[in-house]
Amino acid sequence: MRHSEIAIPSVASRRHFLRTVSLAAASTSMLRGAQAAQAAAAVPLAPKVLASSADGEFDAARMRALAAWTGQTLQTPHPVPFGAEIVHTATGERLMRATNAVGEEHDPSAHAEVRTIRLACAELKSPSLRGYTLYTTCEPCPMCMACALWARMDRVVYGATIADAARFGHQIQIPATELVKRSDMTCIVDGPIERDACFALFTDPNMQKTFKLWNSEKP
């Protein structure tokens, strides 16, 4: 296991979610000393029944927690602004979450959304994530949105926009909603949600240094 993965686990199982809920007060001690982690722990993650339409308050709380969790990478050797989380649409229970690991895994497809979808499908032993919602700190690129569509996800909720991300590096600037329009598969796309909190991941000084390195390595 890499040091950066010890600092911020790449995934969280449903069992971990239930353990976190039952030991909410105790679990925060595991993250003390890190302001971002404390912010994430402060957001209630108890299961709840969502309305058939988007629950704005719940979406915002989820996105803030995801941004805070992703922000922990900014103090590691592999900072990334991209984090994703999959939750059960009806209950809000977390199934899986992961960060971007393109550099660590030497895999251009290891975007946060794709990694989370892969791990979630492996957990369920199914190629379908129907009944689940994907939260992501940045609007999915065409690759990631296509993966969400093929997985039959109910919803995709994003923070920063693809245009925001393009300010700091190369992007394929096709809106996620455009992918849905051109597909015969259905998926609700909501965003931006908590855009400022997610955009702050991109402007962090450590992340800015990494962006310069990334951009210098690209053709």
Catalytic residues: 113
d(CA 114, CA 173): 18
Task: Show Cβ contacts of residue 177 under 8 Å, excluding neighbours closer than 6 positions.
Answer: 189
Burial of 215 per CB tally in 10 Å (0-12, 13-18, 19+): exposed
Burial of 205 per CB tally in 10 Å (0-12, 13-18, 19+): exposed
Could you give the 3-state DSSP secondary structure of residue 160? strand
- 151-180 as b/e: b if 16+ CB within 10 A: bbbbbbbbbbbbebbeebeebeeebbbebb
DSSP assigned state of 89: T
